[in-house]
Amino acid sequence: MSESASPQTLNAGRCELVREATRRVTEAAATVTGVDLAPVAVDFDLAGRSAGQFIGRGDHCRIRYNPWIFARYFSENLATTVPHEVAHYAVYRAWPGRRVRPHGPEWQGIMRALGVEPAVTFDLDLSGLPRRQQRRHRYHCGCREHELSTTRHNRVSAGRARYACLQCRRELQYLG
């Protein structure tokens, strides 16, 4: 892909192939774990450097895929990312309410049972693909300005956190 070419995203046909692969791997994971795994919602709204993400909140579960990474490395993601995220889903359902490490032995065992090496990261070229970037928010203390990430700024705004300068120890104040 040339520097000036815009990144490609998945077309509707390929999205359907990923959904079908997710359904098939979920059925295989249900057999492997002996746990009833309902079909999981699949979205193609993930950006950044991750190819996939499992989200579980109570009974509401979904898998998010990065359409740009899938478009560039379609077969690799079908073979690795789909089982990776489904394995997270299976762990979430098989060990409910238990604190299980995200890529711990339970997840690794499910990956191996699905016939996939339990790798956590990949080393594919992601140059030219859209990336998430957090906005920075300006704060000050008694001695200088600071930049806080959107996550930290939101915590301050909601009253859930306060941050102080490591130099002068004064609480940071938002500059707006």
User: Which residues are registered as beta bridge partners of 57?
Assistant: 60
Q: Where are the domains of the chain?
A: 12-113, 136-174
Tell me the pLDDT tens digit for each residue of 24-73.
Answer: 999 999 999 999 999 999 999 998 888 999 999 999 999 999 999 999 99
Can you tell me whether residue 74 is helix, strand or coil? Answer: helix
Reduced 3-state DSSP string for 8-71:
CCCCHHHHHHHHHHHHHHHHHHHHHHCCCCCCCEEECCCCCCCCEEEEEECCEEEEEECHHHHH
- Residue 161 zone, left/alpha/beta (φ > 0; ψ -120 to 50; rest): beta
* pTM confidence score: 0.71
pLDDT at 143: 94
pLDDT for the residue 98? 84
Active-site pick, 85, 106, 117, 145: 85
pLDDT digits (tens, 9 = 90+) for 69-94: 999 999 999 999 999 999 999 999 99
- The pair of structure tokens assigned to 5 is 């070419």
Give per-residue pLDDT as tens, 126-148.
666 666 666 789 999 989 999 99
Q: How would CATH label the architecture of 12-113?
A: 2-Layer Sandwich (3.30)
Q: In the annotation, is 85 catalytic?
A: yes
d(CA 59, CA 57): 6
- DSSP assigned state of 172: P
Q: Which helix (H) or strand (E) holds 82?
A: helix 81-94
**Residue-wise DSSP of 96-155:** TTS---TTSHHHHHHHHHTT-----------TTS----PPEEEEE-SS-EEEEEHHHHHH
> Taking each helix axis from N to C terminus, what angle separates 81-94 and 12-33, rounded to the nearest 10 degrees?
40
